[in-house]
């Protein structure tokens, strides 16, 4: 049942740190835009104050807004009320219910009749608050929040197991945003406002960093839409003023390159969420005439490094970030982290601090004294002509000699499974051939292109339900 309850803004949930602005810049500067024009910071402030007065009491809110500007307004209104935004790993009903079960005093906030998650019209979300079509406005004091306030909890994607919560204070977001702006330095002039178009949802930490926090705290205005198809991306970029920035993923970037759409001149393209193949990075730079900059990070750490993938293999850590190799991964030290964070990524660190990724411990395979990695096997699968998408992964099942079986899902409309296996035999050792290889219409990628393990297993076993 939808509800909008009239209340007054509450003080921040914590009062131990210095209060900081929720957004920076002159009141006239653009924070968002679309085909209708730009929204100024002053108008945005008025919308945040107005919505904050209408939010219900509660400790946490799940922000399900499809419109990116409304997500911005909702995120800041929730923070102004001293509440915490929950960012589930996906917007499926199961993921939302699981997160809310961990936070009983929570509600869902969105800009549509049924929150945008699958089958919501059949079973509406409880405690769902629908934002008004016309956002309320209210004058008042400058918007500030306590630096130590817990403003968000982001959940890992679940690509390697159960999603895990990661708490984010406003202080940590401010510090990581400064690093993100440094990661993109040189793509556009420092004294100009870049107009960004993002294909990633704001609920994902990468989308939160690049399309929510940077417009709040940097010289960035963001398009309100989340275009998906290549022509939609092109249309949104044509609505932007120069300089233009595209925030995307390797999956969307490949679709743009292959579609051959006409894009206006861009200051740069930034990509994350999955490894960017060097040939794709080079093709995109040649096709669109701008630098493609890949950033590396995680929900736990936010962005910690960057590289120009078309010409670099090593990652350059952001200022204040230090990556230390560990036997089973890496340890990340950074100013925005309360304590060092352990990652599962195996790294080789150069003398100058740059590092290269060497896969993950969980991805490494050892069979009959031979070694390989799931990432390399997937790369070889994708290199087969006619294969459009694919993934190689290890099952929990153990065969007769005590080895976990390897499986693969492949999108290859013009190839038979036997032909794919023959091609694989030419490039990999027979002991690493997938014992189960199935052709499928599409892989179960989430909104950022990742492949949750549970979804892969369901598809492999013939269960296509979400």
Do 351 and 430 lie in one domain? The reply is no
Whether 465 is covered by a domain: the verdict is: no
Handedness of CA 315, 321, 323, 328 (dihedral sign): negative
Do 43 and 144 lie in one domain? The reply is yes
Do 207 and 341 lie in one domain? The reply is yes
Give strand pairing partners of 390: 410
Element (H, E) at 257: helix 250-259
Whole-number Cα distances in Å, 125 to 122, 130, 232, 253:
10, 11, 29, 34
Residue 168, pLDDT > 70, answer yes
Residues 16 and 85 in one domain: yes
Residues 251, 334, single domain; the answer is: yes
Quote the CA–CA distance of 431 and 422 in Å, as a whole number: 14
415 and 287 share one domain? no
Mean pLDDT over residues 233-242, rounded?
A: 97
DSSP-assigned states of every residue in 366-435: EETTEEEEHHHHHHHHHTSTT--EEEEEEEEEE-TTS-EEEEEEEE-TT--HHHHHHHHHTTS-GGGS-S
Q: pLDDT per residue over 121-130, tens digit each?
A: 445 566 889 9
In the numeric block, the tokens 């010409």 are attached to: 311
Distance CA 272, CA 251 (A): 10
Residue 78 phi, psi dihedral angles, 5° rounding: -60, -45
The per-residue pLDDT for 368 is: 63
Q: Among 326, 345, 361, which residue terminates a domain?
A: 361
Share of the chain above pLDDT 90, in %: 63
Say what the pLDDT of residue 14 is.
42
pLDDT in tens, 56-89: 999 999 999 999 999 999 999 999 999 999 998 8
361-401 tens-digit pLDDT? 777 777 766 778 888 888 889 889 999 999 998 887 765 54
* End-of-domain residue from the set 318, 341, 361: 361
49 sits in the region (left: phi over 0; alpha: psi -120 to 50; else beta) called alpha
* CATH number of the domain to which 263 belongs: 3.40.50.12780
Domain range spanning residue 446?
Answer: 368-460
- Let me know whether 86 and 115 are in one domain: yes
Q: How many domains does the chain have?
A: 3
| Residues 265 and 392 reside in one and the same domain | no
Residue 451 φ then ψ, to 5°: -120, 95
Which of 310, 343, 361 is where one domain is finished?
A: 361
What CATH number is associated with residue 60? Answer: 3.40.50
Provide the pLDDT for residue 88: 87
Is residue 110 located within the same domain as residue 48? Answer: yes
pLDDT, tens digit, for every residue of 399-451?
554 567 889 999 999 999 999 999 999 888 888 899 899 999 999 887 777 88
Q: Looking at residues 236-260, what average pLDDT do you find?
A: 94
């Amino acid at each position: 049942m939808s509800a909008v309850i009239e209340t007054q803004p509450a003080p921040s949930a914590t009062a131990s740190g210095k209060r900081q602005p929720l957004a920076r810049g002159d009141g006239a500067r653009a924070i968002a835009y679309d085909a209708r024009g730009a929204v100024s910071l002053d108008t945005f402030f008025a919308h945040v104050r107005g919505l904050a007065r209408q939010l219900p009491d509660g400790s946490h809110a799940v922000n399900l807004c499809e419109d990116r500007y409304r997500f911005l307004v909702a995120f800041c209104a929730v923070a102004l009320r001293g509440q915490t935004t929950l960012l589930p790993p996906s917007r499926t009903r199961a993921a939302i219910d699981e997160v809310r079960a961990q936070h009983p005093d929570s509600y869902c906030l969105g800009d549509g009749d049924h929150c945008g998650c699958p089958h919501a019209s059949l079973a509406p979300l409880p405690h769902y608050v629908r934002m008004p079509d016309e956002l309320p406005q209210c004058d008042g004091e400058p918007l500030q929040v306590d630096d130590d306030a817990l403003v968000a909890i982001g959940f890992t994607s679940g690509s390697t197991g159960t999603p895990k919560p990661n708490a984010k204070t406003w202080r940590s977001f401010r510090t990581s945003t400064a690093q993100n702006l440094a990661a993109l330095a040189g793509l556009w002039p420092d004294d100009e406002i870049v107009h960004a178009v993002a294909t990633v949802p704001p609920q994902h930490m990468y989308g939160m960093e690049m399309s929510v926090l940077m417009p709040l705290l940097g010289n960035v205005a963001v398009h309100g839409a989340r275009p998906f198809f290549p022509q939609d991306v092109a249309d949104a970029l044509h609505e932007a003023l120069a300089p233009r920035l595209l925030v995307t993923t390797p999956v969307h970037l490949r679709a743009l390159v292959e579609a051959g759409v006409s894009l206006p001149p861009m200051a740069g393209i930034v990509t994350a969420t999955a490894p960017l193949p060097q040939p794709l990075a080079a093709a995109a730079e040649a096709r669109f005439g701008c630098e493609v900059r890949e950033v590396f990070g995680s929900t736990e750490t936010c962005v910690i490094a960057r590289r120009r993938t078309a010409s670099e293999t090593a990652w350059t850590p952001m200022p204040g970030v230090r990556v230390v190799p560990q036997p089973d991964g890496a340890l990340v030290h950074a100013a925005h982290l309360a304590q060092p964070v352990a990652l599962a990524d195996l790294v080789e660190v150069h003398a100058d601090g740059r590092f290269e990724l060497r896969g993950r411990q969980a991805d490494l395979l050892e069979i009959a004294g031979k070694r390989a990695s799931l990432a390399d096997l997937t790369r070889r699968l994708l290199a087969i002509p006619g294969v459009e998408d694919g993934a190689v992964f290890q099952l929990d099942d153990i065969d007769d000699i005590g080895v976990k079986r390897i499986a693969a899902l492949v999108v290859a409309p013009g190839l038979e499974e036997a032909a794919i296996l023959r091609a694989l035999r030419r490039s990999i050792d027979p002991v690493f051939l997938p014992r189960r290889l199935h052709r499928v219409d599409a892989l179960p990628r989430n909104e950022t292109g990742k492949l949750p393990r549970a979804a892969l297993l369901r598809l492999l076993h013939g269960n296509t339900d979400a």
